[in-house]
Amino acid sequence: MTTMASTAMILMVAMITTTLFSGSTRGMQVGYYDQQCPHVERTVKEIVEGLLLKDVTAGASLLRLVFHDCQVKACDASILLVDDPRNGVLSELHSPKNFGIRRLNFINIIKEQIERRCPGVVSCADIIVLAARDIVRSSGGPTIPVLTGRKDSKQAYKELADVIVPPADTTVDELLQIFTSKGMTIEETVALLGSHTLGVSHCKSFYNRLEPQLDKSMSPALAEDLKLLCHGQKVVTNATNLLAAFNDRTNLVFDNQYFSDLAAGRGLLAVDANLASDPRTSQIVLRFSASEREFFNAYVTAFLKLTQAAVLSDHDDAEVRTNCSAINQY
Ligand code: HEM
Ligand SMILES: *[C@@H]1O[C@H](CO)[C@@H](O)[C@H](O)[C@H]1NC(C)=O
Ligand SMILES: *[C@@H]1O[C@H](CO)[C@@H](O)[C@H](O)[C@H]1NC(C)=O
Query: Is the pLDDT higher at 70 or at 235?
Result: 70
Q: How far, in Å, is the centroid of ligand 2 from the Cα of 233?
A: 12
Measured CA to CA, the distance from residue 225 to residue 215 in angstroms comes to: 14
* Residue 151 Cβ < 6 Å to ligand 1: no
Pocket of ligand 3 (CB under 6 A): 82, 112, 323, 325-326
Query: Does position 72 have pLDDT exceeding 70, yes or no?
Result: yes
pLDDT digits (tens, 9 = 90+) for 154-213: 999 999 999 999 999 999 999 999 999 999 999 999 999 999 999 999 998 999 999 889
Residues noted as catalytic: 68
Percent of the chain residues topping a pLDDT of 90: 82
Query: Does position 214 have pLDDT exceeding 90, yes or no?
Result: yes
Q: Is 1 exposed, middle or buried (0-12, 13-18, 19+ CB in 10 A)?
A: exposed
Give the pLDDT of residue 26.
83
Query: Does position 9 have pLDDT exceeding 90, yes or no?
Result: no
Measured CA to CA, the distance from residue 208 to residue 188 in angstroms comes to: 28
271 is in an annotated binding site: no
49 is in an annotated binding site: no
Which residue lies with its CA nearest to atom 3 of ligand 3? Answer: 325
pLDDT digits (tens, 9 = 90+) for 231-271: 765 545 555 557 889 999 999 999 999 999 999 999 999 99
72 is in an annotated binding site: yes
Which residue lies with its CA nearest to atom 13 of ligand 3? Answer: 323
Residue 325 CA: nearest ligand 3 atom is 2
Angle at Cα 17 formed by Cα 52 and Cα 161, nearest 5°? 55
* Banded model confidence at residue 230, pLDDT cuts 50, 70, 90: confident
Ligand 2 pocket test, pick from 237, 240, 242 with the greatest ligand atom count within 8 Å of Cβ, gives 240
Q: How far, in Å, is the centroid of ligand 2 from the Cα of 94?
A: 15
Question: 155: closest CA among 216, 91, 66, 233?
Answer: 91
Measured CA to CA, the distance from residue 72 to residue 161 in angstroms comes to: 6
